[in-house]
Amino acid sequence: MVTGANGAIGKAIALAIASDPGYRVVLLCRDEKRAVAAAQEVRARSGNREVTHALADLSRHASIRELAKTWRSALHVLVNNAAVTPRRREETPEGIERQFATNVLGYYWMMGAFSKHLLSSAPARVVNVASYWAGGLDLSDLEFRRRGYDNDRAYRQSKQADRMLSAAFAQRWQGTNISVNACHPGDVNSTLSNNLGFGGHQSPEQGAATPAWLATSKQAATVSGGYFEDRRQVRCPFAADEREVGALVECCSRY
């Protein structure tokens, strides 16, 4: 399952995975029309007929819970990729700042809601699409209620958190056969990057290379808790701060 799979990098990840006929790929999107079109395109380009879509709003816990409740198939690979970068501060219907809800809690809730499915399907892998563009986490103001909202600041914080949550779940799932790794994809032209004022000099396929490799390759099967750029593991100072990682998980668990 690939989240945000009608977006620039998500669709390319889905396509890369679907290009191996051994995989059944589910594109998780929030908009039915965009989901149908993306699934059709991935089926046509990969030649894999086992490409379908599912719908959920990943900024809402209830929507993720509902998806998990009705999920009947095995789940061997979960790629958390969906994210947003609204220019002005927005809140979800539950009153949570939208970047934090989607980019951080969305990843956290997906790993929580699907842990049963991953465990019963193991060996299984989770790939959290994060970024090298990360930092500035403030656990006392995760939703930019005190600090002035700036979409770049909120985005960098969210991607730092994604890297830390990967370390937290790797620890939680130690001794099971579920691995979880984070990565920087690539710099790709997209709605998300345009909102941040970036163009992107890489193709979606280049952006998808590292996440798809983490999701499917033999080499990546034995690593968990790592952070990767260009298919190489890089030390992540955020993930190494165990106290801060624990505090972030504690904050997320309150939502």
Ligand X SMILES: NC(=O)c1ccc[n+]([C@@H]2O[C@H](COP(=O)([O-])OP(=O)(O)OC[C@H]3O[C@@H](n4cnc5c(N)ncnc54)[C@H](OP(=O)(O)O)[C@@H]3O)[C@@H](O)[C@H]2O)c1
Site residues for ligand X per CB under 6 A: 4, 6-10, 29-31, 34, 57-59, 81-84, 102, 129, 131, 159, 184-185, 187-188, 190-193, 200
Q: Return the structure tokens found at 68.
A: 């998990």
In terms of CB distance, is 89 or 243 closer to ligand X? 89
In terms of CB distance, is 122 or 133 closer to ligand X? 133
In terms of CB distance, is 76 or 159 closer to ligand X? 159
In angstroms, what CA-CA distances link 135 with 142, 164, 237? 12, 11, 10
Helix (H) or strand (E) holding 229: strand 227-229
In terms of CB distance, is 48 or 80 closer to ligand X? 80
Distance in Å, CB of 92 to ligand X, minimum: 8
Distance in Å, CB of 83 to ligand X, minimum: 4
Distance in Å, CB of 177 to ligand X, minimum: 25
The phi, psi pair for 91, rounded to 5°, reads: -125, 150
Distance in Å, CB of 198 to ligand X, minimum: 6
Distance in Å, CB of 172 to ligand X, minimum: 21
Cβ atoms 215, 128 nearer than 8 A: no
In terms of CB distance, is 8 or 25 closer to ligand X? 8
In terms of CB distance, is 200 or 226 closer to ligand X? 200
Give the residue among 167, 145, 5 at the shortest CA–CA distance from 83: 5
Rg of the chain over Cα atoms, rounded to whole angstroms, equals 17
Q: What angle do CA 102, 100, 80 make, to 5 degrees?
A: 40
Cβ atoms 125, 76 nearer than 8 A: yes
Distance in Å, CB of 168 to ligand X, minimum: 18
Which residue is closest to ligand X by CB?
7
Give me the DSSP letters along 23-82.
--EEEEES-HHHHHHHHHHHHHHH--S-EEEEE--TT-HHHHHHHHHH--S---EEEE--
